[in-house]
Amino acid sequence: MRLDGVRALVTGGASGLGRAIVERFIVEGARVTVFDRSEAGLAAVTRAHPDKVLGVQGDVRDLAANQRAVAESVAGFGGLDVLVGNAGIWDYNRALVTLPDDKIDAAFDEVMGVNVKGYLLAAKAALSALVETDGSMIFTVSNAGFHPDGGGTLYTASKHAAVGLIRQLAFECAPKVRVNGVAPGVINTDLRGPEALDMQDRSLGEVLTDDVMSGNLPIDRLPNPEDYTAAFVFLAAAGESGHATGSIINIDGGFAARGVGRVRGGDALAKGD
């Protein structure tokens, strides 16, 4: 699977899974615009690939910022073939019972804003450019888009919403633009949490260690971001996946086949644990 000549835009592409996708796309022959709010992260990825990467700083929750990322990609590379909506935040399995009353509104708005609205705005901004090239959109979902306990109440709801968004966009954008998703399982990456819950400095890679995950998944190991990138390449390669739209590739390490897990509830609900 090669991406020679492909011009891609990756949101949240300056770190973690997004950075791994960018690196893999470049290896396969693509040029990539990285849209991220981290100036330091953007500087690092553009410095590593000065002829292959354009960096655009901004917030995925801002339509104008998304439009600017698309415009700079088209101006710099002459067009846009693939949008990868990847920017996201995790709620560190925060259960409803432990969500503070005074922070629910802000936490909901932040998680849904980044994980759902960010995808919607990226799609809105990129659609015209992708129609011109018969291009495609790819969105990062999660095992939490299909099953419980891959996150807390807010994150799981946001990823279920992302699944619905992919399917609706695939319907609306056909036949000019394909819309698909990749649903990774657990991952050793620097995924942060919402500021509204004071989780912005927490890193998923510090929580999901090999010891923690041992025995919890059929593959019995903690995947790295690079382990998931081939699925994005496949969906970006029109010659390989040109028949696919409205599809989501699940690569969850056996999450859906793990059997009976720990059930929350019981006395913990009364105690607020």
Residue 269's contacts (CB-CB under 8 Å, 6 or more residues apart) are: 97
Return the structure tokens found at 170.
């695939």
**β-bridge partners, 34:** 10, 55
Residues marked active site are found at 155
Q: Report d(CA 38, CA 8) in Å as an integer.
A: 19
Mean pLDDT of 175-201: 91
pLDDT at 218: 78
The model's confidence at residue 26, banded by pLDDT at 50, 70 and 90, is very high
Average pLDDT over residues 175-198: 91
Q: What pLDDT score does 1 carry? A: 77
pLDDT surpasses 60 at 259: no
**Has this prediction a pTM greater than 0.85?**
yes
pLDDT of the residue at 163: 98
Query: What pLDDT does residue 256 have?
Result: 77
Q: Are 32 and 26 in contact (CB under 8 A)?
A: yes
pLDDT of 231:
98
Give the pLDDT score at 142: 95
Evaluate if residue 271 carries a pLDDT over 70: no
What structural domains does the chain harbor? 7-255 (3.40.50.720)
Residue 58 to residues 65, 106, 187, Cα–Cα distance (Å): 6, 20, 25
Tokens 């067009």 sit on residue: 79
Q: Which phi-psi region, left, alpha or beta, contains residue 109 (left: φ > 0; alpha: ψ -120 to 50)?
A: alpha
